[in-house]
Chain A
Amino acid sequence: MSRLLLSALLGLAASLATAAIDPHQFETVEQQERYQRFTAELRCPKCQNQNLAGSDAEIAADLRRELRRLIDEGYSDQQIIDFMVARYGEFVLYRPPLDRNTVLLWAAPVAFGVVGFAALGTLLIRRRRSAADPEPPLDAAEAERVRRLLEGGDELSSASRQPVNGGDSR
């Protein structure tokens, strides 16, 4: 059963991987690498979250063709980015420049990280402090109450709501 599932998943992955291969021969390996880098980093304008390499949309195919043309004609990286942004806006960039609209996008991961580490830090400090400072032993009255509780009796109904040592133990 699991083998069947695995082969089905692998088959699906294979069909996705071959979805967007257009035969084209670049003159240099460097051009080929630039093409692959750009198809990975440019987002298909029709799709919500797929890059040009992964999308089978008509518009993605057009943009790949256009990208090949730009690379063949010797456009620089910045010129290619400008070409795409002039037509489809910064939506097509998976790494948009930092400006007023994208500041939240760029800052949020850092902010989440800071909050997370701060929480972790306080937790660790608190734990270390409580380990260094164990709870004080019970005094005579408390020990008497514990003994009575363990033996059973009507203590449960009247006094069980009061915390035994008066504080948060954890």
Chain B
Amino acid sequence: MARQRLILFLPLLVFIGVVVLFFVMQREMGRGEYDPQALPSALLNKPLPAFELTDLHEGRPVTSDDLKGRVALVNVWATWCPSCYYEHPYLNQLEERGVVIYGVNYKDVPEKAKQWLAEKGDPYALVLDDRQGRLGLDLGVTGAPETYVIDHRGTVRMRYQGPLDERVWQESFAALIEQLQAEAQGAGA
């Protein structure tokens, strides 16, 4: 009889369990520790996809080989992207600190992009004109801004979705970049 009574409480217990689960998830989302939209990059630890595009400024051809050899960020951006406005000054700061950043101008109008860089500063060592979004597709980009970290061999080591700022940099990038720099020096020595 007592056991039968307990079974009656089973749905309640399951319900409480689910409530606790959702509560914990909500809290982690609030703290930024869990993001239901985060999607692991399919490119992780794979080489940067091969491409043949042109340089935004001079129109000369650029291939994926031109991005290899240095630890760098590959930043996907566009003038239509509101978060890119927010992110841009921080990219300028990173460039001043000596971080190599390659830009992928994603599905944009080249004239607008050039004007943006002229007005707001150009933190990019190289800007690729990806107006068709083909490279973006090969990278698995779902929106802008997105930032990929590549090592000296041109292998993708991390993908970050969303704008960069100092907090994000310290949390997700700083240690990895340091490690990759060490790897690159080890390989060069």
| Chain A residues close to B by CB (< 8 Å) | 45-46, 48, 58-59, 62-63, 66, 85-89, 91, 167-168
Contact = CB atoms under 8 A, between A and B. Distances in A.
Contact of A88 (B36, B39, B133, B143): B39
Contacts of B39: 45, 88-89, 91
Contacts of A63: 137
Given A168-B1, A168-B4, A59 B142 contact: yes
B42 A89 contact: yes
Nearest to A91: B39
A88 B140 contact: yes
A87 B138 contact: yes
A86 B42 contact: yes
B54 interface: no
Contacts of A168: 1, 4
A58 B143 contact: yes
Between B41, B133, B142, the greatest number of chain A beta carbons within 10 A of the residue's beta carbon is seen for: B142
B-side interface size class? 10 to 19
Contacts of A86: 42
Main secondary structure of the interface of B (DSSP, over half): loop
A48 B36 contact: yes
Given A89-B40, A91-B39, A59 B139 contact: no
The 7 closest A-B CB pairs, nearest first, are A89-B42, A87-B140, A46-B142, A45-B142, A168-B1, A88-B140, A59-B142
B170 interface: no
A72 B18 CA distance: 47
Between A66, A85, A87, the greatest number of chain B beta carbons within 10 A of the residue's beta carbon is seen for: A87
Nearest to A170: B4
Contacts of A58: 107, 143
A87 B139 contact: yes
A58 B37 CA distance: 16
28 contacts: A45-B39, A45-B140, A45-B142, A46-B142, A48-B37, A58-B143, A59-B141, A59-B143, A62-B133, A62-B136, A63-B137, A66-B137, A86-B42, A87-B42, A87-B137, A87-B138, A87-B139, A87-B140, A88-B39, A88-B42, A88-B140, A88-B142, A89-B39, A89-B40, A89-B41, A91-B39, A167-B1, A168-B4
A47 to B, nearest CB: 9
A85 B143 contact: no
A168 to B, nearest CB: 5
Contacts of B42: 85-89
Between A63, A167, A168, the greatest number of chain B beta carbons within 10 A of the residue's beta carbon is seen for: A168
A51 to B, nearest CB: 15
Contacts of A89: 39-42, 140
B135 to A, nearest CB: 11
Nearest to A60: B142
Contact of A46 (B107, B139, B143): B143
A168 B138 CA distance: 67
Given A48-B37, A88-B42, 8 more contacts: A45-B140, A59-B143, A62-B137, A85-B42, A87-B140, A88-B140, A91-B39, A168-B4
Nearest to B39: A91
A136 B43 CA distance: 73
